Amino acid sequence: MKLVFATHNPNKLKEVQQMVTDQIELINLNTIGCTTDIPETANTLEGNAKIKADFVTDQFQLSCFADDTGLLVDALNGEPGVYSARYAGLKNDSNANMDKLLDNLKEKQNRSAHFKTVIALNLNGKTHIFEGKIEGVITENKRGENGFGYDPIFKPNGYEETFAELPLSIKNEISHRAIAFKKLIAFLNSIHVTG
């Protein structure tokens, strides 16, 4: 089975490729010649994941999955949420995004937050949704060099380190993205075993 992962990022593709059975051939947007920057115009993570998956299925008639991820901070009514990548402007500047978030939390006591990843899979005319979530708190300042996005200011519950301080092997076990992808992979692998 050929399946498109709606991403231009070869590292993301490689990461997921290692988790699926040999019967599933994973390809990305570059492989199918899709150079379009698919607009994410929904006001939910699920909506954005679905927009990306539907775009590929409609334009290329291929089975496809897409993901969207956001950081939701309780004291800010779920901000930045669906706007996580462009919280401080359209440039997707991680440092500016973190600075804005830390600034907005200055007067707040409650620093609890969670990361959430939603995956939409279009397969055989049906859409399947998979979700991963991890609870934590926003630190007072940036810590750590690993990871990307908001990792230096997110400390998952049960750990003293931020995502940017944790070894990648641990982050990849416990992260919102890992949880969502494990559900997707289990589903794909089960189809192959039974189908």
Could you say which of 22, 37, 67, 68 is catalytic?
Answer: 68
CA distance 3 to 122: 9
User: What would the two tokens of residue 39 be?
Assistant: 């607009």
**Between the CA atoms of 181, 184, 187 and 191, what dihedral angle is there, to the nearest 10 degrees?**
-110
Q: How many CA atoms lie within 13 A of 168 on its CB side?
A: 5
Q: Give CA separation, 78 vs 51, 74, 89, in Å.
A: 21, 5, 18
Contact 60, 32 (CB under 8 A): yes
Examine the residue annotation and report whether 22 is marked as an active-site residue of this protein.
no
Strand duo 64-73 + 154-156: pairing: unpaired
Q: Is the peptide bond prior to 80 cis by the omega test (within 30 degrees of 0)?
A: yes
CA distances from 132 to 14, 66, 115, 156, 179 (A): 20, 14, 8, 14, 5
As annotated, the active-site residues are 68
